[in-house]
Amino acid sequence: MRTRTWMVALGLTAFGLLSAQAQNYPNRPISFVVPFAPGGLTDVPARVLAPIMQEKLGGNIVVENKTGGSGVVGATHVLRSEPDGYTLLVNALADVQNLHYIKVPYNAVDDFTLIGKIADGPPLVLIVNAGLTYKSLKELIDDAKANPNKISFGTSGPATSPAISMTQLNHTAGTKIVDVPYRGSGEAAGAVVTGAVQGTFTFFSAAKPLVDGGRVRPLAVAGAKRIAAWPDVPTMEELGYRNFNHSGFVGLVGPARLPQPVVASLLKVLNESIHSDLFKIRMEALGMTIPDAASNTPANFAAYMRAEMGRQAELARLTGHDPMAPKQ
């Protein structure tokens, strides 16, 4: 009886400590760790979100870029930090792609506390140099089939979404488009403008100013649905290419064992912040969409990431990789 009473008392004490921690949270600056370079599609949403969330939380939020290893360096830093809610990771699609191509020292779902999504997208779009005759994806594919190795696409290097997309297109369409790697998707898009390559898959946010300037032409959207700004540009799925959805996401996670009251506090403020007019306007300009607040939960975020891990494994096989099992 004494043991049971002691265990109950211990549980109530722990609950009291967690409740006190949530009530006092935050009492010092919170760090949003972005594992990629400033100005990218993971960094920009984090920097727009931080001041909105900090006003609602009543504490400072600092965005830190810890780059390297395709996002692994920053994620590992958060993984090893104290689970107190003051060091959080802004994660992205690379988290579920990496494990199929490189050795990753963690499981992107099980080794972190998932909080919620920040935004979905933007999708990749297939663009070609505006001076070329291709007015549709079919015309591009017909030429690529008739002239193997004639057409080249710029990519941002192996195991990145643009390279995976190009490999998937070759596999599905039976073409031999040549992969020309560049240091980033922006540089690859620039190569399309100059004519160094004929086309590329690049993110909508990078493609839009080039399309608006008449320097490139969009042929298809590699996303789940058409883009509002380009209502006449079909999706790859509409054109008969199954499972051709290459849209990113940005989410917020913390180290494992983050106290539940802290998670609940962060999720509430996250959902309020991403649905603010300012945040929605800024994300729309990037071609990104906001998740519904009711469904933006840790459980749904985890289910999404697990499903995406499986889908990325299928795509990895097309690139000649033997998908690795997530670290258990």
Q: Does residue 211 or residue 97 have the better pLDDT? A: 211
DSSP state of 108: T
Alpha-carbon Rg for the chain, nearest whole angstrom, is 22
Average pLDDT for residues 246-254, to the nearest whole number?
95
Residue listed under structure tokens 């603010």: 276
Q: How many CB atoms lie within 10 A of CB 4?
A: 8
Q: What is the DSSP string of 275-305?
A: TSHHHHHHHHHTT-BPPPTTT--HHHHHHHH
Distance between CA 237 and CA 245 in Å, rounded? 8
Residues 60-94 pLDDT 10s? 999 999 998 889 999 999 999 999 999 999 999 98
Alpha-helical regions (H) of 68-136? 72-79, 94-97
Distance (Å, whole) CA 29 – CA 27 = 7
**Local structure of residue 99 (DSSP, 8 states):** G
Are the beta carbons of 309 and 126 closer than 8 angstroms? no
pLDDT in tens, 303-321: 999 999 999 998 888 877 7
Query: Among residues 206, 177, 170, which one has the least CA distance to residue 41?
Result: 206
pLDDT in tens, 177-215: 999 998 878 899 999 999 999 999 999 989 999 999 999
First-to-final CA distance of the chain: 38
State residue 328's pLDDT score. Answer: 42
pLDDT score of 322 more than 80: no
Of 86, 124, 140, the residue nearest 203 (C-alpha): 124
What is the pTM for the complete model shown?
0.84
